[in-house]
Homo-oligomer: A and B are copies of this chain.
Amino acid sequence: MSCAAEVIITGQDSEPLSALGEFGLIAALSAWLPPGPRTLVGIGDDAAVLATPDGRVVATTDFLLEDGHFRRDWSSAADVGHKAAARSLADLAAMGAAPTALLVALAAPPDLPVGWARELAAGLAAECDRAGASVVGGDTARAPRVLLAVTGLGDLAGRKPVLRSGAAPGDVVAVAGPLGHSAAGLALLTAGLPDDPLVKGHLRPAPPYDAGPEAADLGATAMIDISDGLLADLGHVADASGVLIDLASAALAPGERLLTAARAVRGSGRDAFSPARTRTAPSPGGASSPDAAQALRWVLTGGEDHSLAATFPPGVRLPARWKVIGTVLAGAGRSGHGVVVNGQPWTEPPGWDHFAQDLA
């Protein structure tokens, strides 16, 4: 297959995918996506074969949809590749696993330029490289818009998987990675401010993959990746564990970058996120300005940072990148308020529901 792929790599970026045909595209993807050390059979056969010396494999599938999760006028093809990979790879880390492989199903319009697919593959490969994984297989189809369904496979290396259901009263809650950066970045893009550095947090979230196995080794009792928002995702932990999680707003105080972004979005007059709430709602969590309130809202309810939130037994000494943000209390997780902030229910929507809300 490498012969056909060489031709493509050295030239026809502006040609449409339909000029390659399905098998030409698969041959090209095979050349653009190098196998990894665990790839026993890679792209190009009926299926891939991956080494799983642990005797278990961790597996997850995630969609990334054009005009749902990304816009082609905002995201480069490489951005889309990074983000598509990150969504699945972060799920593996949140189980305490090291990512090993991706399978990528790509549906695309036939007039998509070959160069776009090449850059997408480069983004996928680069994000895999950050995580220690490689692309081992996939599928292609035509569709009116770009759509990816990415399956991640990972390795526990003898660790017990860290579930959502193990949090116990007395545990501390900690987070590794940024909160609210993706939501702030999306708000900046929506406001016509694409040059703010936080925009990258939306286009290319960079999950701290190795923090997942690290947390497992430290004895984490529960873990989840922040894909729908801190409150929503910790709500899943509270529900599954039958506990109440109490967050301390002081530990979640937005940094200067988020405050600056909130100010810029408000100043643009194009705050598409929550203009009504920003003007009329009382400042949540005791925030002292509308900008601080908006920034805290991004921290608590913004999704897609793919940072990791975990609970640890009391007394565990955590590395610096794990920031303690709350504690686990006894209490019913089914009350509708499985997560509280400073002991009080958070009264705004906690996060994202793909079927109940319009996609951005």
How many copies of this chain? 2
B residues near A97, Cβ cutoff 8 Å: 47
Shortest distance from the beta carbon of A197 to any chain B beta carbon, whole Å: 28
A65–B136 CA distance with the chains assembled, in angstroms: 22
One of A148-156, A273-281, A324-332 contacting the partner: A148-156
B147 touches A110 (CB 8 A): no
B residues near A261, Cβ cutoff 8 Å: none
Are the C-beta atoms of A59 and B22 separated by less than 8 Å? no
What residue in chain B is nearest A25 (Cβ atoms)? B355
User: Which stretch of A137-145, A171-179, A183-191, A337-345 is in the interface?
Assistant: A137-145
- In the complex, are the beta carbons of A59 and B101 less than 8 A apart? yes
CA distance A45 to B61 in the complex (A): 12
Q: Do residues B65 and A56 form an inter-chain contact, with CB atoms below 8 A?
A: no
Interface of chain A residues 337 through 359 with chain B (CB within 8 A): 353-356, 359
- Considering the chains assembled together, what is the distance between the CA atoms of A134 and B68 in angstroms? 29
Residues of B within 8 A of A355 (CB): 17-18, 20-22, 25, 110, 140, 142
Report yes or no: A149 in contact with B61, Cβ–Cβ below 8 A: yes
Q: Is A161 engaged at the interface, CB distance under 8 Å to the other chain?
A: yes
A46 to B94, CA, bound (A): 7
User: Known contacts being A47-B95, A49-B58, A61-B149, is A359 close to B103, with CB within 8 Å?
Assistant: no
Beta-carbon contact of B107 and A161 below 8 Å: no
Q: Which residue of B lies closest to A236 (CB)?
A: B23
Contact B103 A60 (CB under 8 A): yes
Query: How far is it, in angstroms, between the C-alpha of A56 and the C-alpha of B52 when the chains are bound?
Result: 5
Q: Mark A34-61, 1 if CB is under 8 A from B, else 0.
A: 0000001100111111111111111111
- Which of A103, A137, A223 counts the most B-chain CB atoms under 10 A from its CB? A103
- Check B48–A59 contact: CB distance below 8 A: yes
Does B50 lie within 8 Å of A53, measured CB to CB? Answer: no
B151 lies within 8 A of A103 (CB): yes
The CA-CA distance from A137 to B143 in the complex, in Å, is: 24
Q: Could you list which residues of chain A lie within 8 angstroms of chain B, going by C-beta atoms?
A: 17-18, 20-23, 25, 40-41, 44-63, 65, 68, 91-92, 94-95, 97, 101, 103-105, 107, 110, 136-143, 147, 149, 151-154, 156, 161, 163-165, 223-225, 240, 353-356, 359
Q: Can you give 7 contacting A-B residue pairs, CB < 8 Å? A: A18-B356, A48-B58, A49-B56, A59-B101, A61-B139, A63-B149, A140-B354
